[in-house]
A and B are shown apart, each in its own frame.
Chain A
Amino acid sequence: MAYTRKDVSTLTRTEKRRFVKAMLEVKRRGEYDEFVRTHIEYYTSDGEDDLRTAHMAPSFLPWHRQFLLDLEKALRRVDASVSVPYWDWTRDRTTTSAPWTADLLGGTGRRSDRQVMTGPFAYAEGNWRIKVGVTDEEFLTRDLGRARDPIQLPTKADLERALKDPVYDASPWDSTVGKGFRNKLEGWGSGRGSASWQNHNRVHRWVGGAMVGGASVNDPVFWMHHAFVDLVWSRWQRRHREHRYLPAKPPAPGSAQYRRVVARHEKLPPWDVTPDQLEDHGRIYRYA
């Protein structure tokens, strides 16, 4: 039977407590840091020749869908009542609203070193040491809203610009694509400054600290953010029912994207599942 992913602002005290407890246990077991490593390994960029799976590619959405499912399975091995809540950042937009409360994720980092000092993932609590990181700092860092030069989270209007595009993605299937839902949601824009990072990318930057770099998975908000991105994909599918994941067929030999993106019926590394198989999550979970 399908389980439910809830809006993080609606979690009960008990649900929050159980979620946190399961996360800390997955970390303690050593499983959490494998997720951090996997995300680093699968971040390939489109200026290089490798296969792109997790980012700057059509499979950005199914990749993170499966990635989230794997983490959720790990959580549910600890506590079968737990699921990953989603953070609707078009609605919960302040540094003190959900999920930044002391009983869930804790708040922003302190000014001197951006170290998170509150909540269960603060280094001082002793249960969340950064083991796979970009620097040798062992503490979780955040800079919610980028205090020195403030930025805002994406708005409903920003999201709508992505949602109303009826085509899933377009050639060359990378971060330069100006049309299609996927890149508008992933958020690679042209030019410089804040216009060049939208929606999903913007949220990573808004949180700041660990969430900005390659080891972004170190912040548990990563999962709540991607659960919302995942939900937005589901909303797009419902709005444009006749439109499916693209590309349907792999780019041909001789094309610039040959073997660099995953087509609808190809296996999506590191898993054996295809984007087609990941398009419908209804038998596994639903969003409340």
Chain B
Amino acid sequence: MVVGVGGVPVGAAGDEDAGGTRRGVLRGLMVAAAGAALVPVALAAWPEETDGKNTDVRAGDGIFEETYRGRLIRGVPIPSPEQEAGDVDWHVTVDGRPLHLMRRADGSWLSMVDHYAPAPGHLDGGAHGVHA
């Protein structure tokens, strides 16, 4: 049992924060990883940042889908009432399995497969993660 600085329990067993929160996604990832093949892809392509080559964005619902190196990458924006307008969280899956992502203060992203270098948001930034 872990207590954060403000006295709020964090990461406690039975903490039902399923959905878009970081810890909920992470737990889902760990469960999915047992026996499932989570692909080692560092995803970093977002609708606003692609060069339009491999993109297939479904208009109107903000969902992003792309096939990259034979894998289906899908991003679903998660609206969150407390966030500022235009600021969204993404639930990303690769071949249907969740890829946990964390946002960095400078706007780049970290994925579970790459925690020590940012993926800037372009497909080529994610490409080196595929090679990992």
Quick one: which of A133, A172, A175, A267 contacts B104, CB cutoff 8 A?
Answer: A175
With both chains docked as a complex, state the minimum distance between the C-beta of A120 and any C-beta of chain B, in angstroms: 24
A149 to B124, CA, bound (A): 14
Judge whether A4 is part of the interface by a CB distance below 8 angstroms.
Answer: no
A161 to B102, CA, bound (A): 28
With both chains docked as a complex, state the minimum distance between the C-beta of B28 and any C-beta of chain A, in angstroms: 13
Question: Which residues A183-202 have CB closer than 8 A to chain B?
Answer: 187, 190, 192, 196-197, 201-202
Q: How large is the interface on B (under 10, 10 to 19, 20 to 34, 35 or more residues)?
A: 35 or more
Measured between beta carbons, the chain A residues less than 8 angstroms from B3 are 267, 269
Measured between beta carbons, the chain A residues less than 8 angstroms from B78 are none
With both chains docked as a complex, state the minimum distance between the C-beta of A64 and any C-beta of chain B, in angstroms: 14
Are A197 and B117 in touch, CB under 8 angstroms?
Answer: yes
Known: A133-B33, A259-B5. A50 touches B107 (CB 8 A): no
Measured between beta carbons, the chain A residues less than 8 angstroms from B52 are none
Measured between beta carbons, the chain A residues less than 8 angstroms from B30 are 40, 132
Question: Which residues B4-39 have CB closer than 8 A to chain A?
Answer: 4-6, 10-11, 22-23, 26, 30, 33-39
Are A269 and B4 in touch, CB under 8 angstroms?
Answer: yes
Are A136 and B117 in touch, CB under 8 angstroms?
Answer: no
Cβ-closest chain A residue relative to B82: A49
Measured between beta carbons, the chain B residues less than 8 angstroms from A148 are 131
With both chains docked as a complex, state the minimum distance between the C-beta of A52 and any C-beta of chain B, in angstroms: 10
Question: Which residues B109-132 have CB closer than 8 A to chain A?
Answer: 110-118, 120, 125, 128, 131-132
User: Count of A residues near B, CB < 8 Å?
Assistant: 47
Q: Mark A200-214, 1 if CB is under 8 A from B, else 0.
A: 011011001100111
Are A136 and B33 in touch, CB under 8 angstroms?
Answer: yes
A192 to B119, CA, bound (A): 8
Judge whether B103 is part of the interface by a CB distance below 8 angstroms.
Answer: yes
With both chains docked as a complex, state the minimum distance between the C-beta of A9 and any C-beta of chain B, in angstroms: 24
State the main secondary structure of chain A at its contact with B: loop
A149 to B131, CA, bound (A): 10
Judge whether A282 is part of the interface by a CB distance below 8 angstroms.
Answer: no
Q: Which residues of B contact A (CB under 8 A)?
A: 2-6, 10-11, 22-23, 26, 30, 33-40, 100, 102-107, 110-118, 120, 125, 128, 131-132
Of all A-B residue pairs in the complex, the 6 with the closest CB atoms, nearest first, are: A47-B103, A45-B102, A46-B105, A204-B116, A201-B116, A270-B2
Q: Which residues of A contact B (CB under 8 A)?
A: 40-41, 43-48, 50-51, 55-56, 132-136, 143, 148-149, 172, 174-176, 187, 190, 192, 196-197, 201-202, 204-205, 208-209, 212-216, 250, 259, 262, 266-267, 269-270
User: Can you list 9 A-B pairs with a CB-CB distance of less than 8 A?
Assistant: A40-B30, A43-B102, A47-B106, A148-B131, A149-B131, A175-B106, A190-B106, A269-B2, A269-B5
